[in-house]
Amino acid sequence: MSSSSITTNTFTKNQLQDGYSFSLSVLTSLFFMWGFITCLNDILIPHLKAAFSLNYTQAMLIQFCFFGAYFFVSLPAGKLLKAIGYQKGIVVGLVIAAFGCLLFYPAAASHSYPLFLTALFVLASGITVLQVSANPYVSLLGPPETASSRLTLTQAFNSLGTTIAPYLGGLLILNEAVDSLANNSSAESVQMPYLVLVALLLLLAAIFAWIKLPHIASAEVSQQEKLEGSAWQQRHLVLGAMGIFVYVGAEVAIGSFLVNFLGESNIAALEEAEAAKYLSYYWGGAMLGRFIGAAAMQKVSGGKVLAFNAAVACLLLAITITFSGSLAMWALLLVGLCNSVMFPTIFCLAVNNLGKHTAQGSSILCLAIVGGAIIPLFQGILADSVGVQLAFILPLFCYLYIAYYGLFGSRVITKPSWDQ
């Protein structure tokens, strides 16, 4: 049987090894790439803040435009995939993302912050199509009982991208910007890195247009069948969507403020280029934790692991807000380790027992990624009002909710009722 005829109902162990394993290996490149690109925003924020003399609220519009694309594009992306399939959807997403990267060149040349924000929205629209395509595809690419393990593994490669991006971004963007900031040309230091990304994205698009990925028949059925009822009636899904909202928002907000936080005189007083290197510890902790968490969740329930990690994150943020110097710095960096298993765990808990509503539930969870647009913006408003350090109280409350979801909110109630 050829790889193109493999379905979730007929796969064998050999087909899983020959077809599914190869496809999963190829798909990890997508998770790596969008992790890399997303984390570059943490470099763009302090860079463009200085280049355009922005306050924190204005600088957080970078994340607002980027993650806002998830809210506007997720549902249209779902309809697109229904029409053209997962593989072609991946190609379309890569091409759109490449076009968004290309727009960085005229944005820098014209020194236009609004054009930068437009470029980020287009880039994020392409990544949204990739997320909507790849996340459910990975979950369906093999036995249902190992779906959470596969998603955690691919998310680990996503974290590899977020670990490498701060170092390279600091080296290629922030270092070069130091010499050109005086003559207002520092924005142009983003041109070459994003042109390289254009080439890489188009290369990936060509590869995915050429290779043959396994045909997942049940994926098409789940999207095309007429459903009765709605996933919105499932309490644990709706609470899980809120969990995704606050998790992505908290993770992005912390990463967005790290460089500026480490530059504070009472914390580490680091230059931007030097502080950017420490972002790798934050995102690297998430990568390491995902490999550890994938093994731990073989013996401990996902809800308990989620609640434990969230509780530790709350403690670390309390230390960050209360203390100064290296203690506050490392406490904040260690939150990355706590973040590790949160997204895949919340995702799997939220779609648990949804049956025919799983596809709709996945779309709802993708919409919830818009938290990465909203929460950093509110933290920016807080930072302008009470300072960068005290503003970390917002993600602390986000993790408190995640702890609640892990212990109580993720429980599946047979007859959905908000009164139970």
Give the pLDDT confidence score for residue 289 in this predicted structure.
82
List pLDDT tens digits, range 83-107. Answer: 887 788 889 999 999 999 999 999 8
Give the pLDDT confidence score for residue 291 in this predicted structure.
75
Contact 350, 244 (CB under 8 A): yes
Among 3.40.47.10, 3.40.50.300, 3.30.470.30, 1.20.1250.20, name the CATH number for the domain at 3-409: 1.20.1250.20
Q: Is the pLDDT of residue 268 over 60?
A: yes
Residue range 269-278: mean pLDDT, rounded: 86
Closest CA to 412 of 326, 302, 316, 317: 302
Residue range 35-50: mean pLDDT, rounded: 85
Residue range 224-237: mean pLDDT, rounded: 65
Contact 135, 348 (CB under 8 A): no
Q: What burial class does residue 384 get, using C-beta atoms within 10 Å of its C-beta: 0-12 exposed, 13-18 middle, 19+ buried? A: middle
Token pair of 242 as six digits = 């809120």
Q: What burial class does residue 127 get, using C-beta atoms within 10 Å of its C-beta: 0-12 exposed, 13-18 middle, 19+ buried? A: buried
Contact 113, 53 (CB under 8 A): no
Give the pLDDT confidence score for residue 126 in this predicted structure.
94
pTM summary value: 0.76
Q: Is the pLDDT of residue 420 over 60?
A: no
Contact 250, 375 (CB under 8 A): yes
Chain mean pLDDT for the chain: 81
Q: Higher confidence at residue 75 or residue 107?
A: 107
Share of the chain above pLDDT 70, in %: 81
Residue range 394-411: mean pLDDT, rounded: 94
Interhelix angle for 371-386 vs 235-262, to 10°?
40
**In the chain, what are the domain boundaries?**
3-409
What is the distance between the alpha carbons of residues 379 and 375, in angstroms, rounded to a whole number?
6
